[in-house]
Amino acid sequence: MGNVQTEKLEVNNEMANRKKVNWKFLHSWVPPLIAFLIVMLAWQFGTAMLQIPPYILPKPTDVFMATVDNWSRLWDSASTTILESVIGFFFSVVIGVSGAIIMASSKILERSLYPYAILLQTIPIVAIAPIIVIWFGSGMNAIVIIAFTIGFFPMLSNTLIGLNATDRGMLDLLSLYQASKWQIMWKIRIPAALPYIIAGLKISCTLAIIGAIVGEYIAGIGGGDGGLGYAITVASTTMEIPYLFACGIAASILGIVFFLLVSLLSKVLLGSWHESEMKKD
Amino acid sequence: MMTTTELEEMVERKTGQHVVKMKGVSKIFPNGNVAVDNVDIDIADGEFISFVGPSGCGKSTIFKMISGLVENTTGEIEILGSQVQTAQQKRTDVGFVFQDATLLPWRSVLENVMLPLEFQRMSKVEKREEAERALKLVGLKDYAKSLPRQLSGGMKMRVSIARALVAKPKLLLMDEPFGALDEITRQSLQSELLRIWESQKMTVLFITHNVFEAVYLSTKVAVMTPSPGKIASTVNVSLPFPRDDEIRTTHQFSDIVARVSRDLKF
C-alpha cells in the first residue's frame, strides 16, 4: 500500500518536473518570439497600409529578398568586417591585459600611465580616425587600429580593477610564504582578476565590431573588398535601402554572435567557481 | 589529586627550548597609537599558548610582528633561534591560519593545500603526497577534488589548517581561526586541533577572544588588556592532556576560566 503510494508520488513528481522544464523553456522563449512576430507583422502590414515607399522603410520581406539576392556580396563584406574586428579585438585584449598587468605590478607606472589611457578613451574615435587613416593608409591596417583603440580601454581598466581587488588576506598569506611579486601575480592576482577580464571581454567584443564599421566608414575599403561599413556607405549613396537594412542587421548579428561566443568562454572558465556563472537554483 | 608542582612539571615536560622570545617589544603606529606596549614573553617549544583579550588590545599586531608582516618599533623578537628579519629565509618553519579560510576558489581542496609547497623545491609527486597527508590529518581525505564553495565553513577551516600544516611547521600562528564558526563546529575543531597538536611536534600561538576556548586548548593563556595593548598576566592551565569534552565541566576548568576572566577586567 505504502509502496504504491510512494510510486505514484514519484511519477507525479517526474511529471511535475517535466512540466516545469517545458514551462521554463516556454517561459524564456515564447514571449520574445511573440513580440518579434508582432513587430514584424506590424512592420510588414503597416508599411503596406500606410503606403510608405520602400526607399524610406522597406518591408521585412523586401529586406529578406535583398539579403538572398545579394548574399555573396553581403557575405564578403561581413567576412571582411569579422576579420578586421577579430584582429582589432585580439590586440585590444592582449595589449589591454598585459598593459594592466604591467601597471598593477608597479604603482609608479600605474600613476604615470593610467591618466593617458583615460585620455585615449575620452577622445572621440571619429575625431582621431582620419589621423589614423593618414598614418596607416586607408585599408585594413587603419581599420584594425581603430577597432583596437575602441576596445582597448575597457580591457585595460577592467583588468586593472580586477588585479587591484585581490583579497588582502590572500596577499598577506603569499608574502608570508616568501612568494615573489611575479609568483603572486600569476598564482593569485591574475586568476582572481579573471571575472573582471571576462567582463572586459564582453564589452570589448561588441565595441570591436563598432570600431571596425566606423573605421570602414572613414577608411573605405579594407583589404580588397569593403566591409559592412563600406557596404552601408555605398548602399546609401546608390539608394539600395533594403540592402542597407540587410547590412545593418548583419552587423548587429555579428555583434550578438561575438557576445555569445565570449559568454560561452566565460561559462567554461568561471562556471565551476565564480558566482556570476554558477547555475541559479 | 595532583599537587600544583606535579602539574607544573607535567606541563614542563612537554616543553623545552624557546621558540619565540620577545623582549621589550612595542609597536607605535605613525599616528601615535600605541598598539603594543613593552611586551615580554618567552614561549617554549611544544607549548600551546593563547592570547586572550578584547578587540584592539594588540593581539593581532603581536602576531603580525612575529610573522614579519609588521615591524616592531622597539625591542627584540626572536623566533626559532633567529631574528624575525633573517628568519624570513626559512618560512616553512612557520604556519599561518587566519579567521577567513582564504582559500582560492578556482583551485580544488588538494591544490589549495599544495599552495605553500609551490614556493619550495620539491617534486610534483612529493607535493601531492604531502598535501594528501595534511588533508588526512584534518579528516578531509575524501574531499581532495572538491572546490571550496562545495564545503561548509568548518570544512573550509580544516582545509586552511591542512594548508598551514603541509610544510610541517615548527610554529603555528592562528589568528581567531574559529571566530566565524558556530559553537558545535567550533568545539569539534578545537578537539581536532588538540589532537593534531599532540601528534605533530609543534608550538601553537592562538588568538581568541573566547576565554573558554583559550583555557580548553592551551598550556598557557596570555591575558591582554587594551590601550595601550599589553600582557596583563600569564595563566598556566594545569589541566592534563589529552583533554576531552568532559573537562569543560570540571571545577578546575571553571576556576581557571574565572581567573582569566578576572585578569581581563583589569
pLDDT tens digit string along A237-253? 888 899 999 999 999 99
List of residues 6+ apart from A124 with CB closer than 8 A: none
Query: Which range is least confidently modeled, A42-46, A265-269, B69-73, B97-101?
Result: B69-73
Q: Residue A270 — very low, low, confident or very high, per pLDDT cuts 50/70/90?
A: confident
**B115 contacts A176? CB cut-off 8 A:** no
* Predicted local distance difference test score (pLDDT) of residue A16: 56
Q: How many beta carbons lie within 10 A of that of residue A281, not counting itself? A: 3
The full 3-state SS of chain B, as one line of letters, equals CCCHHHHHHHHHHHCCCEEEEEEEEEEECCCCCEEEEEEEEEEECCCEEEEECCCCCCHHHHHHHHHCCCCCCEEEEEECCEEHHHHHHHHHHEEEECCCCCCCCCCCHHHHHHHHHHHCCCCHHHHHHHHHHHHHHCCCHHHCCCCHHHCCHHHHHHHHHHHHHCCCCCEEEEECCCCCCCHHHHHHHHHHHHHHHHHCCCEEEEEECCHHHHHHHCCEEEEEECCCCEEEEEEECCCCCCCCHHHHHCHHHHHHHHHHHHHHHC
Q: Which residue of chain B is at minimal alpha-carbon distance from A173?
A: B96
* Predicted local distance difference test score (pLDDT) of residue A83: 92
- Confidence check on the interface: ipTM exceeds 0.95, yes or no: no
**B102 contacts A170? CB cut-off 8 A:** yes
pLDDT tens digit string along A162-217? 999 888 888 888 888 888 888 899 999 999 999 999 999 999 999 999 999 988 88
Query: H helices of A137-189, where?
Result: 140-164, 168-176, 181-184
* Predicted local distance difference test score (pLDDT) of residue A102: 93
Using CB atoms, pick whichever of A177, A183, A188 lies closest to residue B91. Answer: A177
- Residue A6 near chain B (CB below 8 Å): no
Comparing C-alpha atoms, which of A82, A15, A44, A65 is closest to residue A253? A82
Give the three cell numbers for residue B133.
Answer: 597527508
Query: Which range is least confidently modeled, A41-50, A100-109, A148-157, B38-47?
Result: B38-47
Which residues of chain B neighbour A167 with C-beta distances below 8 Å?
Answer: 102
What are the start-end ranges of the E strands in A77-153?
none
Please tell me what DSSP assigns to residue A186. Answer: I
Distance CA B252, CA B239 (A): 8
Are B219 and B47 in contact by the 8 Å Cβ rule? The answer is: yes
Sorted by where each begins, the domain ranges of chain B are 4-80+170-265, 100-167
Are B55 and B74 in contact by the 8 Å Cβ rule? The answer is: no
Architecture in CATH of B4-80+170-265: 3-Layer(aba) Sandwich (3.40)
Distance CA B161, CA B101 (A): 8
Answer CATH for A60-277 from 1.10.760.10, 1.50.10.20, 2.102.10.10, 1.10.3720.10: 1.10.3720.10
Give the three cell numbers for residue B90.
Answer: 626559512
pTM as predicted: 0.79
Distance CA B240, CA A90 (A): 66
Q: Residue A278 — very low, low, confident or very high, per pLDDT cuts 50/70/90?
A: low
Using CB atoms, pick whichever of A173, A183, A194 lies closest to residue B102. Answer: A173
Tell me the average pLDDT of chain A. 85
* Predicted local distance difference test score (pLDDT) of residue B11: 46
Distance CA A49, CA A46 (A): 5
CA distance A168 to chain B (A): 9
Comparing C-alpha atoms, which of A201, A217, A200, A198 is closest to residue A84? A217
Mean pLDDT score, A28-43: 90
**B147 contacts A177? CB cut-off 8 A:** no
Q: Cell 507583422, residue?
A: A41
Sorted by where each begins, the domain ranges of chain A are 1-52, 60-277
CA distance B172 to chain A (A): 13
* Predicted local distance difference test score (pLDDT) of residue A281: 44
pLDDT tens by residue, chain B, 266 residues: 444 444 444 444 444 467 888 888 888 888 877 778 888 888 888 888 999 888 878 888 888 888 877 888 888 888 877 766 655 545 667 888 888 888 999 999 999 999 888 888 888 888 888 889 888 888 888 888 889 888 888 889 889 989 988 888 888 889 888 888 888 888 888 888 888 888 887 889 999 888 888 888 888 888 888 878 878 788 888 887 778 888 888 888 888 888 888 888 86
- Residue B71 near chain A (CB below 8 Å): no
Instruction: Provide the residue type at A80 as one letter.
Output: T
**A178 contacts B91? CB cut-off 8 A:** yes
Which residues of chain B neighbour A175 with C-beta distances below 8 Å?
Answer: 69
Please tell me what DSSP assigns to residue A10. Answer: H
Give the three cell numbers for residue A6.
Answer: 510512494
Distance CA A204, CA A158 (A): 10
Q: How many beta carbons lie within 10 A of that of residue A260, not counting itself? A: 11
Q: Does A149 score more than 50 pLDDT?
A: yes
**B106 contacts A191? CB cut-off 8 A:** yes
